[in-house]
Amino acid sequence: MILETPTALPTQTATLIHRPASFFEPLELDELFSAPQPLEVELGAGDGSFLANYAARHLDRNFLGVERLLGRLRKIDRKGLRGGLRNLRLIRVEASYLIQYLLPSESVAALHVYFPDPWPKRKHRKNRLVNAAFVELARAVLKPVGTVFLRTDDADYFTQMTEVFRASSAFSAIPTPPELAEVTTDFEREFQARGVPTLRVAYQRR
């Protein structure tokens, strides 16, 4: 396994981006992080402003940022390295592939899904990340009482999110903790600046 370990931070060559030796085996989380701590995963981390900020506030947790665009991943990498975040690792992979195949079962304390692509056209809604299949995948990777945190600006997508989680007996709705809600994402700040309302909800695994 190629592991550019964060214990070497900060150096010119260090990177927080993890390139798994195999995309067909679950990640070895013990090798990924220098300390065995609860794992939180952000799917579609964008420019990483939420992730870097939140990881810095919670050094007693490990964070994995997932993003399919390399340019954005590199931006998060630079933020994490600048902040000396030893509890942050990044991976470039499709989000649903990660939760289906790469995350070990019952390994995750929290999933953060903020402003996922809304696919507003009816014929494109099948591309949405958060659907009934996602709920089952989330149940499988979350530890008991693990939580999914969701935010969106798209009212129709919000309805879909709440319907699919409500239909599952594995989850109960809980309030988003204020200390989490106050850490905004890049897209969230843009919506706020334009006066676009945003919605949030959280579900805890029973």
Ligand X SMILES: C[S@@+](CC[C@H](N)C(=O)[O-])C[C@H]1O[C@@H](n2cnc3c(N)ncnc32)[C@H](O)[C@@H]1O
Which residues here bind ligand X, judged by CB under 6 A?
44-46, 66-69, 72, 94-95, 114-117, 129, 185-188
Nearer to ligand X, 34 or 133 (CB): 133
Residue 205 beta carbon to ligand X: minimum distance, rounded to whole angstroms: 22
Residue 35 beta carbon to ligand X: minimum distance, rounded to whole angstroms: 25
Nearer to ligand X, 139 or 151 (CB): 151
Nearer to ligand X, 39 or 150 (CB): 150
Cβ atoms < 10 Å from Cβ of 53: 16
What burial class does residue 6 get, using C-beta atoms within 10 Å of its C-beta: 0-12 exposed, 13-18 middle, 19+ buried?
A: buried
How far apart CA 129 and CA 118 sit, in angstroms, is 9
Residue 83 beta carbon to ligand X: minimum distance, rounded to whole angstroms: 17
Residue 142 beta carbon to ligand X: minimum distance, rounded to whole angstroms: 18
Beta-sheet pairing, 108-114 with 171-174: unpaired
Active site members: 117
Residue 16 beta carbon to ligand X: minimum distance, rounded to whole angstroms: 16
User: Mapping DSSP to helix (H, G, I), strand (E, B) and coil, where does residue 107 land?
Assistant: coil
What burial class does residue 60 get, using C-beta atoms within 10 Å of its C-beta: 0-12 exposed, 13-18 middle, 19+ buried?
A: exposed
Q: Largest Cα–Cα distance of the chain, in whole Å?
A: 49
Give yes or no for a contact between 8 and 14, defined as CB atoms under 8 angstroms apart: yes
Nearer to ligand X, 46 or 80 (CB): 46
Nearer to ligand X, 13 or 193 (CB): 193
Beta-sheet pairing, 62-66 with 88-91: parallel
Q: Which of 115, 111, 112, 113 has the alpha carbon at shortest distance from 196?
A: 115
How far apart CA 169 and CA 180 sit, in angstroms, is 25
